[in-house]
Amino acid sequence: MSTATAIAHPNIALVKYWGKRDSALNLPATGSLSMTLDIFPTTTTVSLDEGASGDVLVFNGEQRVDGPAERVTRFLDIVREMAGSTLSARVETVNTVPSAAGLASSASGFAALAVAASAAYGLDLDTRSLSRLARRGSGSASRSVIPGFAIWHAGDSDETSFAEPVAAPDLAMVVAMVEKREKPVSSREAMRRTVLTSPFYPAWVSSTAESLEAAAEACRDGDVERLGRITEVNALRMHALIQSCDPPIRYLSPVSVEIFDRISALRESGVEAWATADAGPNVVILTRPASVDAVTAALDGLAELAVAHPGPAAALVSRAGE
Ligand code: PMV
């Protein structure tokens, strides 16, 4: 029996991915730029099972038979096709993100699954192929394959849509966990609704492409101030866009907004810090490592906080069998 275990970490986008040009292949409308974190790892073991007639998913010790299990099977079907195999698999995954904090757990989850499943099925994939494969499970997972800062090129085909590393200045993130309940509308559904109903969607696509170019340039120049400004503007544009759907969706809560306000006030006092948020109420603050204490002090009492630095690539930790 072939078995492989991999570890991957979540990533937080500074320039966000929101909207697909092809949902079967998970091709995004625009490129994006992110930092892979060094906290909240997902560990996934894939074991091929010759006797089984279907895949099994065990998530944090509990067997799942619902949506997540179907999503894993759809993903394994892609791996099986690549490997020319018909074997079912047992997937055991342990996620250390505080329960349902909505912090890009699909990114670390599908990055770890891409690495473990490709190894268990005997595929020898390079980083680019792993990023393309992870993308098929969840778009943002393409970036969790890469250590530190990554740019996911939108591309226009399966072959051209992948993430790769980008050099960046020394930065840290403070994660403010506002709420731990599951988000009311999945990012998949919310993206679909945005593309179909928001009158602002074309402006989002063109402005994000410009922001990505500017952010990549700021990374290359080590211009923290410019990168931070782009990060906060891009996040607030994404949330404005999402609120402009019909029916509308609002992910930020009053506490999230309070955190954005406190970070803005902190900036006025001379601390370099900028806020961003994914499809949920949690807020992540981009700052310099030396300013982490000032940021955590400013948010004291508002939310549970965790400090992150640039993290490692998704990696295979063990492999056994044929
Ligand atoms: O990859 P998904 O389907 O989980 O979508 C991620 C969307 C955002 O987290 C909001 C933005 C991003 O670029 O990570």
Task: Give the number of domains in the chain.
Answer: 2
In the predicted model, is pLDDT for residue 99 greater than 60?
A: no
pLDDT band at 100 (very low <50, low <70, confident <90, very high): very low
159 with 232, same domain: the answer is no
Q: Ligand 1 centre and the CA of 295: distance in Å?
A: 24
Count of all residues that appear for the chain in the document: 322
Q: Does a structural domain hold residue 319?
A: no
Per-residue pLDDT tens digits for 159-205: 999 999 999 999 999 999 998 766 778 889 999 999 999 999 999 99
Given 148, 168, 188, the domain boundary residue is: 168
Strands 172-177 and 283-287: antiparallel
93 with 233, same domain: the answer is no
Mean pLDDT of the chain: 95
Domain of 156 in residue numbering reads as: 3-168
Answer whether 3 contacts ligand 1 (Cβ < 6 A): no
111 with 28, same domain: the answer is yes
Residue type, 47: S
Q: Ligand 1 centre and the CA of 279: distance in Å?
A: 7
Q: Does a structural domain hold residue 150?
A: yes
**Once rounded to an integer, what is the mean pLDDT over residues 86-97?**
94
CATH code assigned at 293 = 3.30.70.890
31 with 163, same domain: the answer is yes
Given 168, 198, 222, the domain boundary residue is: 168
Per-residue pLDDT tens digits for 161-174: 999 999 999 999 99
Per-residue pLDDT tens digits for 214-243: 999 999 999 999 999 999 999 999 999 999
138 with 282, same domain: the answer is no
Distance, CA of 310 to CA of 172 (rounded, Å): 7
Strand partners, 88: 49
Cβ-contact 252, 276 below 8 angstroms:
no
130 with 249, same domain: the answer is no
Q: What are phi and psi of 106, to 5 degrees?
A: -70, -25
Q: Ligand 1 centre and the CA of 281: distance in Å?
A: 14
Q: Which atom of ligand 1 is nearest to the CA of 139?
A: 1
Per-residue pLDDT tens digits for 235-294: 999 999 999 999 999 999 999 999 999 999 999 999 999 999 999 999 999 999 999 999
In the predicted model, is pLDDT for residue 101 greater than 60?
A: no
CATH code assigned at 133 = 3.30.230.10
Answer whether 32 contacts ligand 1 (Cβ < 6 A): yes
Answer whether 17 contacts ligand 1 (Cβ < 6 A): yes
276 with 194, same domain: the answer is yes
21 with 160, same domain: the answer is yes
In our burial notation (b when 16+ CB lie closer than 10 A, e otherwise), range 287-315 reads bbeebbebbbebbeeebeebbbebbebbe
Count CA within 13 A, CB hemisphere, residue 13. 28
Given 116, 143, 168, the domain boundary residue is: 168
Distance, CA of 205 to CA of 241 (rounded, Å): 11
Distance, CA of 102 to CA of 282 (rounded, Å): 8
